[in-house]
Structure 1
Amino acid sequence: MGDAQVKTEQMEIVDYVKNHFIEWMEEKHVFPFPQNAAQNKSSYDPLLMERMVRVEEGIKHQNENLEKMMIQSDKRFAEVNENMNRRFEEVNENMNRRFAEVNETMDRRFTEVNENMNGRFEFMDKRFNRLYLFLTGAFFAVLTGIVTLLIQSV
């Protein structure tokens, strides 16, 4: 029921505006462009027509400029994209080269450290072998001495 009343009120407003619209435009000295200039020569204003043509030409010129600007912007974006891709490739190649250098340096250093550690372990093995021989000899000397003392005391 409320919807029907709103639609009725809206239609009344639309009818009122339709009936008074032309009067309001004439009061404000706003004249609509005639549908057919030949039918209504009295409302045809050559200054208005000339102004409209100039406005249309201006708009056409602006559209052409906008199209040129869009084409230039597209070209510039393509250039920037190519430059960025090239720079990223250069940076990527530079980083790969530097990582390869660091990797080679680290491999060389680890190899040197490994060889140095192997030399130290070999030296320690020789030292422990000499110590083992010395202690074994000392043990047998002491053992021989003890056995000799035991035998003599018996």
Structure 2
Amino acid sequence: MALAEEDIAYIKTHIGEWLTEQSLGKPAAVYEIELRERMVRVEEELKHQRELMRQGFEQVDRRFEQVDKRFEQVDKRFEQMDKRFDEMLKRHDQQFFWLLGFIATGVGLIIAALRFL
């Protein structure tokens, strides 16, 4: 069963109205304006999100720089502690050599005293 020419003409003349009714009763121009406004709002929100992300990345970069500086400070402290331990070991080595010298001198004096007696 085919449509008559007058049925096709009727459909063509009223299709715009029917589509407008289906899109919540708003004319096509109003619907298009709303779509454009929505697109503008979405674009503005995306721009805002990009800005927030950029600020977040900058904060992360600053935090990494602070952490690096903190590691450098800790490194300097370890170097200072290493120097202190090296100095302490040198002093202990000197004290050990002095002690060995006193012990050797004492043993030598005791042996000399025992020979004279």
Question: Which one of 115, 123, 131 corresponds to residue 103 of structure 2?
Answer: 131
> Per-residue deviation at 1:74?
1.9
Output the CA distance in 2 between the equivalents of 1:126 and 1:69.
85
Once the two structures are superposed, what CA deviation does each residue of 1:97-117 show, in whole Å capped at 9, x if it has no partner? 111111111211220122022
* Offset from partner CA, 1:68-96 (integer Å, 9 cap, x none): 12211221121012101110111011111
Aligned match for 2:84, one of 112, 128, 138: 112
In the alignment, which residue of structure 2 is the partner of 1:61? 33
Query: Structure 1: where are the runs of 5+ without partners?
Result: 1-18, 20-33, 38-43, 149-154
Bigger Rg, which one: 1
TM-score relative to the length of structure 2? 0.73
Structure 1: distance between partners of 2:19 and 2:35: 18
Aligned residue for 1:36, secondary structure, equals: helix
Confirm whether residue 49 of structure 1 aligns to residue 17 of structure 2: yes
- Alignment-derived partner of residue 121 in structure 1: 93
Letter in 1 for 2:17: M
**How do 1:1-150 and structure 2 match up within 5 A?**
34-37=10-13, 49=17, 52=20, 54-142=26-114, 144-145=115-116
Q: Secondary structure at the match of 2:11?
A: coil
Give 1:50 shift.
Answer: 9.4
Aligned length: 108
**Which runs of no fewer than 5 residues in structure 2 stay unpaired?**
2-9
Q: Any idea what SS the aligned residue of 2:88 has? A: helix
Question: What is the alpha-carbon distance in structure 2 between the residues aligned to residue 78 and residue 96 of structure 1?
Answer: 27
**Cα distance between partner residues in 1 of 2:19 and 2:50:** 40
Q: Report the Cα distance in structure 2 between the residues aligned to 1:110 and 1:94, rounded to whole angstroms.
A: 24
| Per-residue CA distance 1:44-64 (angstroms, 9 max, x = gap) | 6xxx93992834234212311
Instruction: Tell me the percent identity.
Output: 8
- AA partner of residue 69 (structure 1): R
Q: Which runs of 4+ in 1 moved over 4 A?
A: none
